[in-house]
């Protein structure tokens, strides 16, 4: 197999973006692009092997990330990025698999998969961009919309209690949980770097303004204003008890690295267990990957 | 299409006494399936249980997912990871899989889904038989697409056809269904598993071109694109959206036409190669009984009795339900007086016979709502009525 000659990259992110798909579809002032920048930066700093890194997205605004990163990238069905990624990871354990999707995709329609992948401590990094609403479809209320916030299907304000995603992820078994706002560029980058360097289920929530829908409906100013507002409302408490990190409408945002613990990931646990109970009868799975560790 | 011999690790060579569900698991293992993502549902659980017991000693993954939506999604991921993948389910689970079956059709993913059918609709008759998902297999996911569906009538065929299902799925990059039913699934019979060197397995059509130039939807000479796996430097993209050769979304009617025509015509255009039917005494017959799965075995008695009564009668068994053998039905329709079609549903595949035969002959449906097989007498009565 002959290796194709590579051009000199022009844009600093060109080697991880599909430049032939730019411009992207995100609105001016949206924070998703910022999170992608942090992701690209983390990959660069970590010197990740770009050939061994895959991105899986579901459906929605953040679901489009898979279409813009020049990695093995999969744009799947609504809510099913995590089980798709689970199959991918288990079939090819030496590939690092990142799920990049939105709050509605991951915690609404895909909530069941989120908790089960966390429970299994599946070796996945889930980056959840939370903009508090279903943006792609027009700003409908979500499982993350704070109480009283207005949404197109909650025109008199939301009266449903919202998920606190870090609490949910930790309770379900995630072994790395962090939350930042999109303006915490370096912090997001560092969290992604840390997560990529570990094994197990990592969950990073990034609070992001939805300028066109959530911000406009709730008269919260333009994207930059809201981005700054979230940043200013953020209080960094590393190791905060995730039971205390609920998000109130336009209220204080507790951010930081909440959880980081060692626990064998799914494949390690599986291999250890089968080796113990089956001995030589067991055909060790994913051996290459484990020899590297 | 490259054929190789089965990997002996997965082949349990010998004569066994197995039920259909177990035989499906053995067929999958023999075909090289090393990823099973499933969710328990009666009457299909034995396939998953058997696979879970066998796979650690063969080398591969069994994972019980949180629901059937997840199991289908995990299969598609596993195929992009380079594995051959399968699952098993029954009616309610089949319904839940439908959206991602559409994704598999759109992404052109080879995988195998066995449906051990039970009586429906809804929770229906979990422990009792049915053949009521035949139309759902063809039309269950939204949009236009084609799949392949095979109908075993014995545990031996559960084994054989599961291997064929994998081979067809790899040949055409398409999901293939093994549409069995509770009776065949739970029926114990002798199953002969041949030595590995006697089992032909179609190898995945791997992309072998330059790294970085892989186009996931560029058709090869035979009209079927190559497959690559994750982690090999191609850094490709794929989506459930309408897409071009690169796998990039293109949202317009022109690309939609190319995309949809391709996923349909790769099956319709090869229907003659895919379709398998079993005919007996159809030459000169005035009545032909069409059936599939367990019903073809029940029909035998009615056909014997009809013969005794002097009726010129033949049988046609659908081994392939989809694509439907409409050419052959059309030919026979011009020669016979009537088709008699018993099936354990309110009349599903019989519509295809009506469509294919036009008004050339009578088409007599012998429906059954599920829960048990036909009384052969009912089929005989329909034959006697049809011959009048």
Helix (H) or strand (E) holding A288: helix A287-292
Give percent of chain A with pLDDT exceeding 70: 95
Average pLDDT on B346-354 reads: 98
Res A293: pLDDT: 37
Q: Is the pLDDT of residue B345 over 60?
A: yes
Res A279: pLDDT: 95
Average pLDDT on B341-347 reads: 98
ipTM for the predicted complex comes to 0.97
Distances (CA, A) of A247 to A30, A148, A188, B20, B311: 20, 12, 19, 53, 78
Instruction: Assess A287–B contact: CB distance below 8 Å, yes or no.
Output: no
**Residue from A286, A277, A26 nearest B82 by CA:** A286
Contact B76 A87 (CB under 8 A): yes
Res B250: pLDDT: 97
Phi, psi (deg, nearest 5) at residue A167 = -65, -45
Name the closest residue on chain B to residue A119, using Cα atoms: B66
CB A182, CB A210: distance < 8 Å: no
Res B208: pLDDT: 95
Contact residues on chain B for A91, CB-CB shorter than 8 A: 35, 61, 77-83, 85, 229
Neighbour count for residue A178 (Cβ, 10 Å): 26
Instruction: State pLDDT tens for residues B127-180.
Output: 999 999 999 999 999 999 999 999 999 999 999 999 999 999 999 999 999 999
The mean predicted confidence, pLDDT, of chain A is 94
Average pLDDT on B365-374 reads: 98
Res B287: pLDDT: 98
CA angle A248, A160, A130 (to 5 degrees): 55
Question: Strands A53-57, B237-239: parallel, antiparallel or unpaired by DSSP?
Answer: unpaired
Contact B73 A76 (CB under 8 A): yes
Residues near A229 by Cβ (< 8 Å), separated by ≥ 6?
A220, A221, A250
Helix (H) or strand (E) holding B87: strand B85-89
Res A12: pLDDT: 78
pLDDT range class, residue A291, cuts 50, 70, 90: very low
Average pLDDT on B313-340 reads: 98
pLDDT range class, residue A290, cuts 50, 70, 90: very low
pLDDT range class, residue A14, cuts 50, 70, 90: confident
- A19-262, what's its fold? Rossmann fold (3.40.50)
Contact residues on chain A for B216, CB-CB shorter than 8 A: none
Instruction: Assess A171–B contact: CB distance below 8 Å, yes or no.
Output: no
Contact residues on chain B for A52, CB-CB shorter than 8 A: 231
Question: Strands B338-343, B35-38: parallel, antiparallel or unpaired by DSSP?
Answer: unpaired
Q: Is the pLDDT of residue A238 over 90?
A: yes
Instruction: State pLDDT tens for residues A63-97.
Output: 999 999 999 999 999 999 999 999 999 999 999 99
pLDDT range class, residue A288, cuts 50, 70, 90: very low
B interface mutation test: which of A19, A89, A91, A172 has the most B CBs within 10 A? Answer: A91
CB B316, CB B267: distance < 8 Å: no
* Domain range summary for chain A, segments of one domain joined by +: 19-262, 263-293
Instruction: State pLDDT tens for residues A137-194.
Output: 999 999 999 999 999 999 999 999 999 999 999 999 999 999 999 999 999 999 999 9
Distances (CA, A) of B285 to A92, B323, B334, B339: 55, 25, 11, 10
Smallest Cβ–Cβ distance between A67 and the set B9, B67, B249 belongs to B249
Instruction: State pLDDT tens for residues B39-51.
Output: 999 999 999 999 9
Res A287: pLDDT: 56
Res A164: pLDDT: 98
Res A1: pLDDT: 57
Res B147: pLDDT: 98
Name the closest residue on chain A to residue B238, using Cα atoms: A74
Residues near B232 by Cβ (< 8 Å), separated by ≥ 6?
A51, B211
Name the closest residue on chain B to residue A16, using Cα atoms: B235
CB B73, CB B99: distance < 8 Å: no
Characterise B26 by phi-psi region: left (phi > 0), alpha (psi -120 to 50), beta (else). Answer: alpha
Give CA–CA dist A92/A94, Å, rounded: 6
Res A286: pLDDT: 77
Smallest Cβ–Cβ distance between B235 and the set A72, A79, A94 belongs to A72
Instruction: State pLDDT tens for residues A22-77.
Output: 999 999 999 999 999 999 999 999 999 999 999 999 999 999 999 999 999 999 99
Name the closest residue on chain A to residue B212, using Cα atoms: A4
Res A292: pLDDT: 37
Average pLDDT on A248-267 reads: 97
Domains and CATH numbers, chain B: 2-203 (3.40.50.970), 278-387 (3.40.50.920)
Instruction: State pLDDT tens for residues B55-111.
Output: 999 999 999 999 999 999 999 999 999 999 999 999 999 999 999 999 999 999 999
Contact residues on chain B for A96, CB-CB shorter than 8 A: none
Res B212: pLDDT: 86
Question: How close B211 gets to chain A, by Cα (Å)?
Answer: 6
Instruction: State pLDDT tens for residues B177-198.
Output: 999 999 999 999 999 999 999 9
Residue window 18-77, chain A: list those with CB within 8 Å of chain B.
18, 20-21, 50-52, 54, 56, 66-67, 70-77
Q: Is the pLDDT of residue A289 over 50?
A: no
Question: How close A121 gets to chain B, by Cα (Å)?
Answer: 13
Contact B77 A94 (CB under 8 A): no
Contact B57 A281 (CB under 8 A): yes
DSSP class of residue B3?
E
Instruction: Assess A3–B contact: CB distance below 8 Å, yes or no.
Output: yes
């Amino acid at each position: 197999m002959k290796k194709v000659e590579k051009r000199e990259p022009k844009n600093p992110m060109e080697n991880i973006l599909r430049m032939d798909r730019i411009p992207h579809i995100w609105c001016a002032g949206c924070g998703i692009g910022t999170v992608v920048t942090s992701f690209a930066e983390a990959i660069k700093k970590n010197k990740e092997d770009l050939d061994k890194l895959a991105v899986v997205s579901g459906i929605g605004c953040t679901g489009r990330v898979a279409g813009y990163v020049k990695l093995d990238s999969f744009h799947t069905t609504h809510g099913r990025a995590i089980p798709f990624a689970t199959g991918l990871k288990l079939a090819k354990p030496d590939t690092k698999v990142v799920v990049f999707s939105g709050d509605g995709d991951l915690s609404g329609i895909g909530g069941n998969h989120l908790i089960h992948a966390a429970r299994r401590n599946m070796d996945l990094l889930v980056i959840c961009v939370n903009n508090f609403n279903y943006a792609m479809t027009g700003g409908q209320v979500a499982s993350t919309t704070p109480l009283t916030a207005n949404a197109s299907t909650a025109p008199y304000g939301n009266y449903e209690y919202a998920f606190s995603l870090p609490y949910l992820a930790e309770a379900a078994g995630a072994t790395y949980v962090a939350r930042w706002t999109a303006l915490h560029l370096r912090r997001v980058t560092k969290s992604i770097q840390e997560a990529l360097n570990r094994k197990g289920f990592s969950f990073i929530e990034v609070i992001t303004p939805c300028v066109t829908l959530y911000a406009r409906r709730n008269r919260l100013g333009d994207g930059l204003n809201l981005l700054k507002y979230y940043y200013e409302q953020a209080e960094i408490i590393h190791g905060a008890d995730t039971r205390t990190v609920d998000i109130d409408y336009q209220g204080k945002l507790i951010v930081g690295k909440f959880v980081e613990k060692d626990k064998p990931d799914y494949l390690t646990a599986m291999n250890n267990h089968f080796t113990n109970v089956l001995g030589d009868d067991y055909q060790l799975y994913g051996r290459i990957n484990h020899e590297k560790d | 299409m490259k054929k190789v011999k089965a990997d002996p690790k997965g082949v349990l060579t010998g004569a066994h006494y197995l039920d259909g569900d177990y035989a499906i698991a053995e067929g999958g293992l023999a075909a090289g399936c090393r990823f099973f993502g499933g969710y328990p549902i009666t009457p299909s659980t034995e396939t998953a249980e058997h696979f879970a017991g066998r796979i650690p000693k063969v080398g591969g993954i069994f994972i019980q997912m949180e629901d059937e939506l997840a199991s289908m999604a995990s299969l598609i991921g596993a195929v992009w990871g380079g594995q051959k993948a399968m699952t098993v389910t029954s009616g309610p689970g089949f319904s839940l899989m439908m959206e991602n079956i559409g994704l598999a059709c759109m992404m052109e993913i080879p995988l195998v889904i066995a449906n051990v059918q039970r009586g429906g609709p809804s929770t229906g008759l979990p422990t009792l038989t049915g053949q009521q998902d035949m139309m759902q297999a063809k039309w269950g996911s939204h949009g236009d697409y084609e799949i392949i569906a095979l109908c075993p009538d014995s545990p031996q065929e559960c084994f054989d056809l599961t291997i064929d299902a994998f081979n067809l799925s790899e040949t055409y990059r398409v999901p293939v269904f093994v549409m069995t039913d509770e009776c065949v699934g739970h029926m114990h019979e002798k199953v002969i598993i041949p030595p590995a060197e006697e089992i032909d397995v179609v190898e995945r059509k791997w992309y072998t071109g330059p790294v970085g130039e892989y186009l996931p939807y560029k058709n090869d000479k035979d009209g079927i694109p190559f497959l690559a796996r994750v982690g090999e430097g191609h850094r490709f993209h794929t989506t459930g959206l309408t897409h071009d050769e690169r796998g990039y979304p293109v949202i317009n009617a022109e690309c939609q036409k190319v995309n949809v025509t391709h996923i349909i015509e790769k099956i319709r255009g090869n229907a003659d190669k895919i379709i398998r039917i079993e005919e007996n005494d159809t030459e000169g017959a005035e009545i032909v009984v069409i059936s599939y799965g367990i019903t073809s075995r029940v029909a035998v008695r009615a056909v014997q009795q009809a013969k005794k009564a002097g009726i010129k009668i033949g049988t046609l068994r659908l081994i392939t339900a989809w694509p439907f053998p409409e050419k052959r039905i059309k030919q026979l329709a011009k020669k016979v007086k009537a088709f008699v079609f018993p099936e354990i549903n309110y009349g599903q595949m019989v519509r295809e016979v009506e469509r294919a035969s036009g008004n050339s002959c009578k088409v007599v449906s012998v429906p059954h709502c599920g829960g048990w097989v036909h009384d052969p007498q009912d089929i005989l009565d329909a034959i006697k009525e049809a011959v009048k």
